[in-house]
Amino acid sequence: MTESPQDCAKCEISLTVNGKLHNVHAHPMERLLDVLRHDIDLTGTKEGCGEGECGSCSVLIDGVLVNSCLIPVLQADGAKIITIEGLASEGRLQVLQQAFLDCGGAQCGICTPGMILAAHHLLSKKPQPTLEEIREGLSGNLCRCTGYMQIFEAVAEAARQGGAT
């Protein structure tokens, strides 16, 4: 099949997402957020502001917490990416996810995947954070529903249970 000029501008990009290799055909400047949601069908990662301000689109790239709405997919070529779907195990909620449910840390849910990724990142580096460290660790993630205290309590509860995931 003849490729259109638009197709020609695409390139093959390899992403290992939640342990599974995906080769996608995408424009280099396409947002990683869109490739995850539309090409790989992982819709757990949410778009809030689309401008790098809210953290709803947070994912881990090679262990670094990033806003996927700001990452051109080419920048992630060859990287290992963890999305919210990668934190559930065999369909079971893990400690952190259950703590968000139990403590009322998830309401409308738009911020929740990003919050949980940020909390996972924090707890994997600092298993017993202080409240101040929890606030700091989640400072890049905005929530307009909860007032934050339930979220901080959820992270503290997960820490008490020893669960970064």
Binding site for ligand FES (CB under 6 A): 47-50, 52-57, 67, 69, 106-112, 143-146
Residue number with CB closer to ligand FES (68 or 87): 68
Whole-angstrom distance, CA of residue 50 vs CA of residue 57 = 8
State the nearest-atom distance from the C-beta of 4 to ligand FES, in Å. Answer: 30
Q: How far is the CB of 87 from ligand FES (least distance, A)?
A: 17
- If the CB atoms of residues 7 and 118 are measured against ligand FES, the closer one turns out to be 118
Tokens of 50: 């689309």
Nearer to ligand FES by Cβ, of 86 and 113: the residue is 113
Report the DSSP beta bridge partners of residue 162.
none
Burial of 21 from C-beta contacts in 10 A (0-12 / 13-18 / 19+): exposed
**Residues 116, 95: Cα–Cα separation, whole Å:** 11
